[in-house]
A and B are shown apart, each in its own frame.
Chain A
Amino acid sequence: MNGFFLSIGTGLCILTFFVLYRVVFGPGVFNRIAAISAIGTKTLIILLIMGIIYDRVEMFVDISMVYAFLNFVGCLAAAKYLEMEGQEQ
């Protein structure tokens, strides 16, 4: 069972590197924010899988919850700031 979760986690890590292409080369700031949000959701699952592999899920689930909250708040703050910037022009 550990090998199965290890392979799922490896697949998610490879997908994260593909999304990193959009963060680095994406045209404009909005593509970058969307890609960073996608990376955050993948990281949440990777953290839980790490917890299962290390047999410490009860610790990693709290880290994962905080990561979900911070990802959402950061995404919303960036969107609000850019919206204000757009209305000033």
Chain B
Amino acid sequence: MSITIPFSVLFMVGGLFFFITATLGLLRFPDFFTRLHATGKGDTLAVLLCLIGISLHEGFSLTSVKIIIIAIFMSWAQPTATHAISRAGLKCGLKPWMKKEE
């Protein structure tokens, strides 16, 4: 029983929790931009937590270094992709969801 296993379990469960919240936001929010707000941030954090948990389970090797490289890449790529999609949606004339006046 290695000492890293409880930390790995903790990180994986946290990642699954943030995946669940991001999916709930994607299904339940009323409009495109609010859905991106849920998935863009929730999925980034969840992927980072899950990758750190898996690399802790692997121990120190070339595989875990590759997993950390994937984590660094995802923490940069996911917000960029979200920004690109939301800007395209704004240029195509999607209206943000507003509270009804009157």
Partners in one complex: yes
A interface residues, Cβ below 8 angstroms from B: 1, 4-5, 8, 11-12, 15, 18-19, 21-22, 28, 30-31, 33-35, 37-38, 41-42, 44-45, 48-49, 52, 57-58, 61-62, 64-65, 68-69, 72, 75-76, 78-80, 82-83, 85-87, 89
Answer whether A18 and B84 are a contact pair too, CB < 8 Å, given A38-B39, A52-B54, A68-B73: no
Distance in angstroms between the alpha carbons of A5 and B16 in the assembled complex: 11
CB-defined contacts of B82 to chain A, threshold 8 Å: 34, 37
* 6 contacting pairs across A/B (C-beta < 8 A): A34-B32, A41-B78, A61-B66, A69-B73, A79-B88, A80-B88
B interface residues, Cβ below 8 angstroms from A: 5, 9, 12-13, 15-16, 19-20, 22-23, 26-27, 32, 35-36, 39, 43, 46-47, 50-51, 54, 57-58, 62-63, 66-67, 69-70, 73-74, 77-78, 80-82, 84-85, 87-89, 91-94
Cross-chain contact B32 with A76 (CB below 8 angstroms):
no
Distance in angstroms between the alpha carbons of A21 and B28 in the assembled complex: 11
CB-defined contacts of A8 to chain B, threshold 8 Å: 12-13, 16
